[in-house]
Amino acid sequence: MYLGSVRFFKHLIVTVVVLMIAGLSTAVIFLAMENNKKAGEIEALNFELSQLSSFAYNGSPEGVPGDDLEEPGNNNDDNDPLLPPVPPVTTPPEEIKKEPESPYMSLLPHMYSDYTPPADYINDTGYIYLTFDDGPSQYTTDILRYLLKHDIQATFFVMPDDTENGRSFLNTMLERGHEIGIHCMSHFYSDIYASVEAYLEDFNEAWNLVYEQTGYKPYLFRFPGGSKNDYNGAVRDDIIAEMTRRGFIYYDWNVDSRDAMDADWTSMYNTVLNEVAAVPRAVVLFHDRPGGYNTVLVIEDIIRALLADPQNYVFSAITRETAPMQF
């Protein structure tokens, strides 16, 4: 009987062995084909990488990697050619100019003007700048009336009066095109010039009153007694430095009517006309103050004479483009 005989088992063993050999051969052939396929893909990827490397370093496929590497000190720690190049180091921008140091910076921090000197001042040869110190006073109405009558603008360095009438004059001055500068509040020289702090405090009182009344921040000022006097020698330079730092500019004069010395009509008339004729441009000092009756009597006659002068003088208020007149 064949099934279950020795012969049957020999044939079975041979058949199993043949099938195993056939299966292993098929698996080997399949793996070999897969390996060849992967090898081709790897070779293609390597080729693409080599192309990218060439462009990353030299911008062309023919470049040699490493020729254009950045100098030591860049951020590319691994020197990976595929990373973007490190931006070049740029020179830091110039430092912003700081406000000069001042021992008075913490004092009255609100008291600043917006004045900056112009690149070029106007050519004001032949100009006349009428200036009035110490007002307003009981004579301000007459002075303003004469100026309006002849269509002249002037500059008032005020010692403001904190009354309804005194405040209203400030508005009228600005409304008519006049300029307002600060003179002082107390006019007591020994107090004002006791120290830089004392000067600033006095100035601030007058400056604040003008600003509160008119909304205008004056940038002009005139020292009581002029920028050089017998009282301010010890503090003058420091005051000028601090006021300049805060954006204020001071004006003296080169024509003095002598009205503060109680000059009479004739003396004032001749002095002003003669001194105006002797200078290329005239900053004329008058006073608007109690006791200044002679000033009111002579001011219109002086204006008439200067308007009739063949020099064709131009009257003007001081402006931001007017070169300072300083002792």
- The CATH number that applies at residue 245 is 3.20.20.370
Are residue 47 and residue 181 in the same domain, yes or no?
no
- Would you say residue 281 lies in a domain? yes
Question: Which two three-digit tokens encode residue 57?
Answer: 């370093």
Listed residue (168, 204, 202) closest to 187, CA to CA: 202
At residue 74, the pLDDT reads 47
Are residue 52 and residue 189 in the same domain, yes or no?
no
Q: Tell me the residue ranges of DSSP E strands in 134-170.
A: 155-158
Spell out the residues 6+ positions from residue 169 whose beta carbon is closer than 8 angstroms to its own. Answer: 135, 136, 140, 144, 161
At residue 154, the pLDDT reads 98
- Would you say residue 188 lies in a domain? yes
At residue 43, the pLDDT reads 60
Cα 257 off chain centre by: 39
Cα 223 to Cα 248: distance, rounded to the nearest angstrom: 12
Cα 327 to Cα 322: distance, rounded to the nearest angstrom: 16
Residue numbers of the domain that contains 21: 1-66+76-85
Are residue 154 and residue 272 in the same domain, yes or no?
yes
Confidence of residue 213 (pLDDT cuts 50, 70, 90): very high
Residue found by looking up tokens 């009438």 in the block: 165
Domain boundary pick from 85, 115, 142: 85
At residue 291, the pLDDT reads 83
Res 100 pLDDT > 90: no
- Would you say residue 30 lies in a domain? yes
- Would you say residue 326 lies in a domain? no
At residue 303, the pLDDT reads 98
Query: Per residue in 278-319, pLDDT tens?
Result: 999 999 999 999 888 999 999 999 999 999 999 999 999 999
Distances (CA, A) of 81 to 51, 62, 88, 215: 12, 15, 17, 66
Query: Per residue in 40-95, pLDDT tens?
Result: 555 655 555 455 444 444 444 444 444 444 444 444 455 555 556 666 655 555 55
Are residue 300 and residue 153 in the same domain, yes or no?
yes
Are residue 295 and residue 185 in the same domain, yes or no?
yes
Can you list the alpha helix ranges (DSSP code H) found in 215-292? 236-245, 265-277
Q: Give me the number of domains the chain comprises.
A: 2
Are residue 187 and residue 250 in the same domain, yes or no?
yes
Half-sphere exposure of 161 (CA within 13 A, CB side): 16
At residue 101, the pLDDT reads 83
Residue found by looking up tokens 């007002």 in the block: 135
At residue 70, the pLDDT reads 46
At residue 63, the pLDDT reads 42
Query: Averaged over 109-132, what is the pLDDT?
Result: 97
Domain boundary pick from 52, 85, 118: 85
Question: Which two three-digit tokens encode residue 147?
Answer: 């100026």
Query: Averaged over 4-22, what is the pLDDT?
Result: 63
Res 153 pLDDT > 70: yes
- Would you say residue 226 lies in a domain? yes
- Would you say residue 137 lies in a domain? yes
Contact 323, 124 (CB under 8 A): yes
Are residue 81 and residue 160 in the same domain, yes or no?
no
Are residue 80 and residue 148 in the same domain, yes or no?
no
Q: Would you state the torsion angle of the CA atoms of residues 322, 209, 211, 109, taken in this order, to the nearest 10 degrees? A: 90
Q: What is the DSSP letter of 161?
A: -
Are residue 154 and residue 286 in the same domain, yes or no?
yes
| Of the candidate ranges 10-19, 61-70, 255-264, the one whose mean pLDDT is the lowest | 61-70
**Pair type for strands 314-315 and 127-133:** parallel
| Of the candidate ranges 13-17, 143-147, 201-205, the one whose mean pLDDT is the lowest | 13-17
